[in-house]
Structure 1
Amino acid sequence: MRKKRVLLLSEGFGAGHTQAAKALSVILKQTNGGIQTRVLELGSFLHPTLAPWIFTAFRKTVTSQPKLYGRFYRYKYEKSLNKLTQLALHRIFYAQTAEIINKFKPDIIVCTHPFPNAVISRLKRAGLSIPLCTVITDYDAHGTWISPEVNKYLVSTENVKNKLLGHGIPSHQIEITGIPVHPSFREPQDREAIRQEFNLKPLPTVMVMGGGWGMINSDALYDNMAKWKDSIQFLFCLGSNTKALAKLSGDPRFQHPNIRLIGFTREIGKLMEVSDLLITKPGGMTCSEGLAKSIPMLFYQAIPGQEEENLQYFTASGFGESIESSATFEHWFRRLSESYLDVQQSRAQFSSQYRASHNVDYSSVIMGLLG
């Protein structure tokens, strides 16, 4: 008998949307042997030359003019993508989407970014009968996610559900599932084996993320780190940002055996497992992965818009703190150095509670759309 096919569509505006799609693909195949999945960054797949230019322009806008991005985010907050915008996206960027669907013949389409979501919604208005499931990959519900053609929304929290209800989405079309993360983030792992694999020391460990977009640039963090590097191990994850890697490698403050500068890696889950504190920007996926690993988080430089909403949720829920000053670093570094056992015990307790309360059957939710 033919396996049920799930087509997962994302976009490359930041890694989180595609990470969510890939995580969901793995989860579906692990929990249901009768499912076949395909993950596509739709724009990159259709326009492999043009798409990187667009993503680069977006990244430069976000990093160099965050207030401008924030104003646009708030301006469009209550608004869905209008029909003219959807038509433009379709004609300029996604005209061949129907061909992809005809070729793959999916039984369900899942979107983890608003743009392909809008394109599939437009095709459904034109007669496409395939169920559409939308996974909102932040702790907020921006208007661009919303379309009456969506059959099911998967959302992170009760608050996001309420925002969708405020937009007129019926309650039965919304499931609170959390943001899907790769199953490995939910599984206990052997920390000593991981330390040996990466040649790390059994010390209190701080992981710093955000370098992939060149957004780690805090002298306050660097100076505070320098005070504690003899007793705390620091892991700087810089992604594919080779310029940042070269710059920090030449900084005397980073030339210490307890400081590791790490480029692109697919082993973030393992590195989180052996870390005791995560310093990061409040991106929806990174925060969700940190939550799954039960690691305390410190947040810096939230971009106006969805990151501010993510920050509000995680700090209000007690999962992390906003970095207000160097005193925040001082408090946590001292706590790791002087009360390490207490930090470990608190994390272990929270981890068991998290695993017990976050056991979502994504397969049943999504395949339930087939009736």
Structure 2
Amino acid sequence: MSVSSGAGHMRAAEALAEAARTLDPSAETLHIDVMSHVSTTFRKVYTDYYIKLVTKHPALWGMLYQASSETPPDAVSQKLRRAIERLSTRSLAAAIGDFAPDAIVCTHFLPAELMMREISKGRLGVPVWIQITDFDLHRMWVIPRMTGFFAGNEEVAFRLRAHGIDPARIHVTGIPIMPAFAETLDRAACAEALGLDPGRRIYLLMGGGAGLGVVPLARRLCALDPDVQLVVLAGRNRQALDELQALASQQHGRLLALGFTDEVPRLLAAADLVITKPGGLSTSECLAMGAPMLLSAPIPGQEERNADYLLENGAAMKAIDPVGLEYRIALLKAEPQRLVAMRRNARALGRPQAAADAMRIVLADLA
């Protein structure tokens, strides 16, 4: 079960479902997006408003993120929030009942909170697991009555224990990604298959599922280095893709603009540097492929926490603004050994088998 507020939670759920089918070919899986069982108004507030808030008012989002993480779960505001969510997701129980699962894994705290309520009322008797999808822990992920928690790193596990979660219920498995990111791919072959020259530098610019901020960054990167080949992913942002394709027509083959694509593993294998927002899923994919990252203007909250983790472990550099981006691009070009070290550190952090490791635990619990 997941929530389509950003692409990462959904991709994590898809990776877990794929791992379950691989480990047990007889297993029947269902991926439920909670947002498909709510009113249009609720969906708009929960998803569209979030995107607008982090895009237009990131500092405000950071304050809300911190404040909500520090608010006790029994506070009036939290009780009211959960009541509104329950009233807005009444059809969800029917969908779960129709499928009659043996186990539930939640890649977002909203369905986990709803399942906690069902368990407490005696209406649900199957194990419910939580997969945390960032390298930091927000308090909303700390939900009682869960069978277990899958953490992205040791610090998340430490924080769960600090909140009173039984250590036996905590498993450090990483953030789940699709099995394609575990493959060893040849850089030159991947570049050529994408129409790129493997003898020249290749930068990959990703803006997440919403394609946030990629157009102005692409313009700046094209102006910075006439020798670089730039691949830009606009996600599901049609307007950004149109603008990027117009820009590509002026770049004489130096810019490849793509929307939503399943070629990300080959793109990461071909890239000398990935310029990305530090979402939990996108950075986990980079780590699995050993791709060095330049993190672009992370929003306060979970992205800044993810960035801190990657910086502390030497897998990335961070640019807080376009000038900082330009400086670091020049630095990495002048000192390529930095990229070599970042690539090595990224691969050391990567957990390409995270989805399978988590699902082995879920399936073993059912045996």
Q: Is the 8 A contact 2:207 2:213 kept in 1?
A: yes
Identity within the alignment, % = 31
The question of 1:158 aligning with 2:154 is answered: yes
Amino acid at match of 1:312: D
Map Cα deviations across residues 254-313 of structure 1 (whole Å, 9 max, x no partner): 623122111221221221111111001111111001001100001011111111110110
CA 1:71/1:170 → structure 2, altered by over 3 Å: closer, same or farther?
A: same
Q: Is the 8 A contact 1:156 1:179 kept in 2?
A: yes
**3-state SS, counterpart of residue 28 of structure 2:** strand
Amino acid at match of 1:333: K
Taking only aligned residues, the RMSD between alpha carbons, in angstroms, comes to: 2.7
Q: Is the 8 A contact 2:20 2:356 kept in 1?
A: no
Query: Take 2:297 and 2:129, find their aligned partners in 1: how far apart are those partners?
Result: 32
CA 1:217/1:182 → structure 2, altered by over 3 Å: closer, same or farther?
A: closer
| Aligned mate of 1:100, from 80, 83, 95 | 95
The question of 1:170 aligning with 2:177 is answered: no
CA 1:211/1:113 → structure 2, altered by over 3 Å: closer, same or farther?
A: closer
Unpaired runs of 5+ residues, structure 2, are none
CA 1:134/1:291 → structure 2, altered by over 3 Å: closer, same or farther?
A: same
Query: Take 2:256 and 2:147, find their aligned partners in 1: how far apart are those partners?
Result: 46
Which position in structure 1 is the counterpart of 2:16?
Answer: 24
Q: Is the 8 A contact 2:288 2:352 kept in 1?
A: no
CA 1:294/1:42 → structure 2, altered by over 3 Å: closer, same or farther?
A: same
Question: Which shows bigger deviation, 318-327 or 13-22?
Answer: 318-327
Q: Is the 8 A contact 1:28 1:362 kept in 2?
A: no
Query: Take 2:3 and 2:226, find their aligned partners in 1: how far apart are those partners?
Result: 38
Amino acid at match of 1:289: E
Map Cα deviations across residues 164-217 of structure 1 (whole Å, 9 max, x no partner): 111100100100000011010011124444334322221221100116535326
Which position in structure 2 is the counterpart of 1:309?
Answer: 305
| Aligned mate of 2:49, from 52, 57, 73 | 57
Q: Is the 8 A contact 1:155 1:177 kept in 2?
A: yes
The question of 1:320 aligning with 2:320 is answered: no
| Aligned mate of 1:240, from 236, 240, 244 | 236
State the TM-score, normalized to the length of structure 1. 0.87
State the TM-score, normalized to the length of structure 2. 0.88
Q: Is the 8 A contact 1:276 1:344 kept in 2?
A: no
Query: Take 2:208 and 2:351, find their aligned partners in 1: how far apart are those partners?
Result: 29
Which position in structure 2 is the counterpart of 1:66?
Answer: 58
Which position in structure 2 is the counterpart of 1:213?
Answer: 210
Unpaired runs of 5+ residues, structure 1, are 1-8
Query: Take 1:143 and 1:98, find their aligned partners in 2: how far apart are those partners?
Result: 25
CA 1:145/1:80 → structure 2, altered by over 3 Å: closer, same or farther?
A: farther
Map Cα deviations across residues 10-54 of structure 1 (whole Å, 9 max, x no partner): 00110000000001111121122242211111122x147456523
Matches within 5 A, 1:115-130: 115-127=110-122, 128-130=124-126
- CA shift, 1:159, in A, is 0.4
Q: Is the 8 A contact 2:311 2:318 kept in 1?
A: yes
Query: Take 1:256 and 1:51, find their aligned partners in 2: how far apart are those partners?
Result: 45
Number of positions where the alignment pairs a residue of Structure 1 with one of Structure 2? 356
**3-state SS, counterpart of residue 185 of structure 2:** coil
Which position in structure 2 is the counterpart of 1:264?
Answer: 260
CA 1:85/1:369 → structure 2, altered by over 3 Å: closer, same or farther?
A: farther
**3-state SS, counterpart of residue 31 of structure 2:** strand
- CA shift, 1:356, in A, is 9.5
CA 1:360/1:38 → structure 2, altered by over 3 Å: closer, same or farther?
A: closer
